[in-house]
Amino acid sequence: MISERYYSLNTYFKGLYGRKVRKICVDAGFTCPNRDGKLSKAGCLFCDEKGSGSDSISRQLPVWDQVGDYIRAKAKDNEYYLVYFQPFTNTYANIKILDSLYKSVFLDKRIIGISIGTRPDCLDSGKLQLIAEISDNKEVWLELGLQSSNDVTLRRINRGHSKKDFEAAVMASDKAGVKICAHIILGLPGENAEDYVRTADFISSLPVKGVKIHHLYIAKNTTIEEMYAKNEIILMSRDEYIQEAANFLERIRPDIVIHRLMGDCRKDRLVAPEWTLQKSDVARKINKELAGRHSWQGKKSKHIIVPRGTI
Ligand code: SF4
């Protein structure tokens, strides 16, 4: 058996809690400034009508019922759970609403924390203070979409924020004592291996504590699906992705927790590539690729030292 060549989320949780921690994905009924017209109505090229939240339970139910249903049906005594506010922008409301929403999910002692998916331009000091306060005695991650450190790409995919916005949000979160997990995508239109390396170096230069790596896939009912149908999008093959993900990991600081190694899309919503459905096989092959290179996460990182203010 090949040992793990990267710092996985499982390893992080096992080290901290001594057991498996599973995510319960909930849909809190938010929208997004990049979809409701504040910034744009088009959304990011890859965003579907579910706000890129493929795993979440129905938004018809309040979050505490979504969590309660999951706990009753699936929870085990030897596991812990983290509630993931996944689709759309989960800080896009006033502090009072966010306060009661985030705190409402701690209805079972096995729920040890929350993960909050959002955009860099939807945070302010009050929201960060609230999240930091919850972090004082719970496991809390703020999941921040970057996707690429190239501003040209960010404009091309209609993100509605810049690299600088991301950097400012990370610095403010770190100052407040909130852990950031950055989301990135390998294979965005117009990008190549150099862009991926630049994005890895950029993330490693910041006090980021986690990263979610996704491959570009095409989901139904997205702008990118229309572009793909017109042959305007070239997708990476599985083998290319394994190479690029391994290259990316080599440039990522070794203390950064790898929350995910590829994107996830339900079969009924997936257009391409088909290998999206082979998640554990691809993750295993990325690890094997690193082993074959006698390499590991951070081997080529210029940022071995954890940025200041992070310990
Ligand atoms: S920021 Fe997220 S929810 Fe908003 S348009 Fe982009 S992918 Fe969709």
Cβ–Cβ < 8 Å for 238, 275 = yes
Q: Could you tell me which residue, 240 or 51, shows the higher pLDDT?
A: 240
Distance 293 CA to ligand 1 centre (A): 36
- Please list every protein residue whose CB sits less than 6 Å from any atom of ligand 1: 32, 34-35, 43-44, 47, 51-52, 88-89, 119, 145
Q: What are phi and psi of 83, to 5 degrees?
A: -85, 125
What's the chain's length in residues?
Answer: 311
Each residue's pLDDT tens digit, 240-266: 999 999 999 999 999 999 999 999 999
Q: What is the DSSP string of 77-138?
A: TT-EEEEEE-SS-TT-S-HHHHHHHHHTT--STTEEEEEEEE-TTS--HHHHHHHHHHHTTS
Task: Please compute Rg for the chain using Cα positions.
Answer: 18
Angle at 137 between CA 309 and CA 64, to 5 degrees: 125
Distance 35 CA to ligand 1 centre (A): 7
Q: Locate the domains of the chain by residue range.
A: 9-292
Distance 197 CA to ligand 1 centre (A): 24
Angle at 124 between CA 119 and CA 128, to 5 degrees: 90
Give the predicted TM-score (pTM) of the model. 0.95
Place of tokens 């088009």: 42
> Could you tell me what percent of the chain has a pLDDT over 90?
91
CATH for 9-292 (3.30.70.3000, 3.90.180.10, 3.20.20.70, 3.40.710.10): 3.20.20.70
Q: Which residues of 1-25 are buried (b: 16+ CB within 10 A; e: fewer)?
A: eeeebbbbbeebbeeeeeeebeebb
68-to-73, 198, 235, 289 alpha-carbon distances in Å: 9, 42, 39, 40
Distance 139 CA to ligand 1 centre (A): 24
Of ligand 1's listed atoms, the one at least distance from the Cα of 145 is 1
**What number of other Cβ atoms are within 10 A of residue 307's Cβ?**
17
Distance 234 CA to ligand 1 centre (A): 22
Each residue's pLDDT tens digit, 77-113: 999 999 999 999 999 999 999 999 999 999 999 999 9
Residues 6+ away with beta carbon under 8 Å from 50 = 27, 56, 87
Q: How confident is the model at residue 303 (pLDDT cuts 50, 70, 90)?
A: confident
Q: Which of 47, 146, 265 to mutate to test the pocket of ligand 1 (most atoms within 8 A of CB)?
A: 47
Q: How is residue 160 written in tokens?
A: 């509605």
Each residue's pLDDT tens digit, 173-223: 999 999 999 999 999 999 999 999 999 999 999 999 999 999 999 999 999
> Could you tell me what percent of the chain has a pLDDT over 70?
94
Of ligand 1's listed atoms, the one at least distance from the Cα of 89 is 3
